[in-house]
């Protein structure tokens, strides 16, 4: 049996590896448009910062590793069409055109950066000053510019997860960073109070941050980049200058091949798939950033993340070789990012999302210690917790705190609770680990749960919490 995946990391390689794991006799070919079949795109900001020393360190597996596992690689090869009747994909590489036969096909074409409507951007991005950052080739091009000219001033357009990591990484490298965001707050996936605290962390570390700010035009000369910005609230025009600009304003699913092959689209223009990663076209599967995401609380959504792509790819590979019992269980929207000395993590729904899908949410902001105050080094964790007023069902949690506060692991507890559709009362009853250097008798997450229940009883909309020791004995 011949399995072909169109696209490599993360979904395409995961599909290939899982298929071989379940059926070592399958003939697997991975066709990738670039030369980097299995690299960590998530690591790019840390390569640009200098914390990861070489771009090759971002490889999950080398070409030799993959070929030793039995995967045939066709790199720097563009798939130009999929023939579902003859079971062939048309390929082009170095001007030569040929076909590859398949019995099962996994489309893992990922996503492509969204180009915002900035006058002059199409021309400017063709040089070596204005970049998108989505591939290893992008990262190498940015690094070449950083190293060749000792860049001192950079502009980051966008303040989502990647934009924040870039602001951190470039600042760590010694570059002065200006960052603009068109929305009223950075990181739209968390409620405003935590976004404000995170914005303060950026400013405290020297980032010149402006929200409600649209870039309207960009031009490049021999010495600098000039960007015209407009304040979305006042209409005030402000020019900015920098040596390089990096545009990170989101991605859209890459679906053209799948649509031409007969697959239909779902939300956000992503390829529709069922929980077995089937597209509805016979023997044609899809996974990763090009497909819809089954969200356990929102239903059909689009949430392109590496963790999700790995899981979806694994299931697509299993299904392709006949292991039909494996299905994608869905996500609850868990994400985390480090920004300088702070970590912000979230899972589930924001209050606005909860309202949109019909819940009656209450969100409480809690502030508590990450471990017992008498043990040296205690820090503050700020937590928003959202639950349904009528059923007490936990709907969402976000938290911000120093790396030592383990927000990334505490959010995993909340994600598990969401996965199990637990109530906030049940969250409060969980048997969680405690020792004074690492936590408190009632974990910080449970302190937030207690305050949510108290706020509900008082009929309050928000609660600014005192110390946990004065709330829960």
Each residue's pLDDT tens digit, 31-42: 999 999 999 999
Encoded tokens for 32: 């990738």
> For 130, what's the count of Cα atoms within 13 Å in the CB-facing half-sphere?
23
Given a contact cutoff of 8 angstroms between Cβ atoms, the answer to whether 209 and 157 are in contact is no
For residue 382, report the phi and psi dihedrals to the nearest 5 degrees: -105, 130
Each residue's pLDDT tens digit, 227-242: 999 999 999 999 999 9
pLDDT (0 to 100) of residue 130:
96
Beta-sheet pairing, 96-101 with 225-231 = unpaired
CA 298 to chain centre: 17
Torsion of CA 389, 391, 393, 395, to 10 degrees: -40
Task: Evaluate if pTM is beyond 0.85.
Answer: yes
Q: Which residue pairs, CB below 8 angstroms and at least 24 apart, start in 372-378?
A: 372/436, 372/437, 372/439, 372/440, 373/467, 373/469, 374/436, 375/436, 375/437, 377/404
Examine the pLDDT at 303 and tell me if it is beyond 80.
yes
Task: Give the active site residue among 35, 42, 112, 141.
Answer: 42
Domains of the chain: 2-111+251-320 (3.50.50.60), 121-247 (3.50.50.60), 342-470 (3.30.390.30)
Each residue's pLDDT tens digit, 23-33: 999 999 999 99
Each residue's pLDDT tens digit, 204-228: 999 999 999 999 999 998 889 999 9
pLDDT (0 to 100) of residue 163:
97
Each residue's pLDDT tens digit, 1-15: 999 999 998 999 999
pLDDT (0 to 100) of residue 149:
87
Each residue's pLDDT tens digit, 356-413: 999 999 999 999 999 999 999 999 999 999 999 999 999 999 999 999 999 999 999 9
Q: What is the mean pLDDT of the chain?
A: 94
pLDDT (0 to 100) of residue 458:
52
Given a contact cutoff of 8 angstroms between Cβ atoms, the answer to whether 58 and 47 are in contact is yes
d(CA 254, CA 291): 9
Q: In the predicted model, what is the mean pLDDT of residues 152-167?
A: 97
Angle between helices 11-22 and 306-320 (to 10 degrees): 40
Examine the pLDDT at 61 and tell me if it is beyond 60.
yes
User: ∠ at Cα 445 (441, 448), nearest 5°?
Assistant: 100
Q: Which helix (H) or strand (E) holds 18?
A: helix 11-22
Concerning whether 290 is annotated as a catalytic residue, the answer is no
Examine the pLDDT at 468 and tell me if it is beyond 50.
no
Given a contact cutoff of 8 angstroms between Cβ atoms, the answer to whether 260 and 82 are in contact is yes
Q: What percent of the chain has pLDDT over 90?
A: 93
Q: Is 77 exposed, middle or buried (0-12, 13-18, 19+ CB in 10 A)?
A: buried
First CA to last CA across the chain, in angstroms? 63
d(CA 100, CA 452): 58
Each residue's pLDDT tens digit, 252-280: 999 999 999 999 999 999 999 999 999 99
d(CA 57, CA 278): 34
d(CA 272, CA 57): 34
pLDDT (0 to 100) of residue 221:
87
Examine the pLDDT at 465 and tell me if it is beyond 90.
no
d(CA 85, CA 101): 11
pLDDT (0 to 100) of residue 126:
80
- Between the alpha carbon of residue 111 and those of residues 108, 270, 315, the distances in Å are 9, 9, 19
Q: Which helix (H) or strand (E) holds 228?
A: strand 225-231
Under the banding of pLDDT at 50, 70 and 90, the label for residue 461 is: very low
Each residue's pLDDT tens digit, 342-361: 999 999 999 999 999 999 99
d(CA 425, CA 392): 7
Q: Which helix (H) or strand (E) holds 338?
A: strand 335-339
Beta bridge pairs of residue 285: 106, 278
């Amino acid at each position: 049996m011949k399995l072909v995946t169109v696209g490599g990391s993360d979904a395409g390689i995961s599909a290939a590896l899982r298929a071989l794991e379940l059926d070592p006799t399958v003939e697997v070919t991975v066709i990738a448009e670039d030369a980097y079949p299995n690299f960590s795109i998530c690591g790019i900001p840390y390569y640009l910062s200098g914390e990861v020393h070489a771009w090759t360190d971002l490889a999950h597996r080398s070409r030799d590793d993959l070929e030793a596992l039995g995967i045939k690689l066709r790199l720097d090869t563009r798939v130009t069409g999929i023939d579902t009747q003859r079971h062939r994909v048309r390929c082009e590489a170095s001007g030569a055109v040929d076909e590859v036969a398949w019995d099962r096909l996994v489309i893992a074409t990922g996503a492509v950066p969204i180009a915002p409507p900035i006058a002059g951007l199409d021309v400017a991005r063709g040089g070596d000053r204005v970049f998108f950052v989505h591939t290893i080739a992008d990262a190498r091009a940015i690094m070449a510019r950083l190293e060749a000219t000792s860049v001192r001033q950079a502009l980051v357009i966008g303040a989502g997860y990647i934009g924040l990591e870039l602001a951190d990484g470039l600042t760590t490298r010694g570059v002065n960073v200006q960052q603009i965001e068109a929305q009223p707050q950075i990181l739209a996936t968390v409620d405003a109070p935590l976004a404000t605290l995170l914005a303060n962390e950026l400013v405290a570390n020297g980032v010149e941050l402006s929200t409600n700010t649209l870039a309207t035009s960009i031009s490049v000369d021999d010495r600098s980049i000039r960007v015209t910005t407009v304040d979305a609230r006042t209409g005030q025009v402000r020019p900015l200058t920098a040596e390089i600009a990096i545009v990170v304003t989101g991605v859209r699913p890459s679906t053209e091949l799948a649509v031409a092959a007969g697959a239909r689209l779902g939300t956000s223009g992503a390829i529709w798939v069922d929980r077995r990663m089937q597209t509805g076209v016979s023997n044609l599967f899809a996974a990763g950033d090009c497909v819809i995401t089954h969200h356990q609380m929102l239903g059909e959504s689009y949430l392109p993340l590496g963790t999700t792509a790995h899981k979806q790819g694994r299931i697509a590979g299993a299904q392709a070789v006949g292991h039909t019992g494996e299905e994608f269980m869905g996500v609850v929207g868990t994400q985390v990012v480090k920004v300088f000395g702070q970590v912000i993590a979230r899972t589930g729904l924001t209050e606005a999302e909860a309202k949109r899908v019909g819940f009656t949410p209450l969100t409480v902001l809690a502030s508590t210690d990450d471990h017992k105050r008498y043990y040296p080094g205690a820090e503050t964790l700020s937590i928003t917790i959202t639950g349904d007023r009528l059923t007490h069902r936990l709907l969402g949690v976000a938290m911000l705190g120093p790396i030592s506060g383990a927000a990334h692991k505490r959010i995993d507890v909340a994600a598990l609770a969401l996965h199990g559709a637990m109530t906030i009362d049940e969250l409060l009853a969980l048997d969680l680990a405690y020792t004074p250097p690492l936590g408190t008798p009632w974990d910080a997450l449970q302190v937030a749960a207690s305050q949510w229940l108290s706020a509900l009883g008082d009929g309050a909309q928000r609660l600014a919490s005192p110390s946990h020791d004065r709330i829960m004995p």
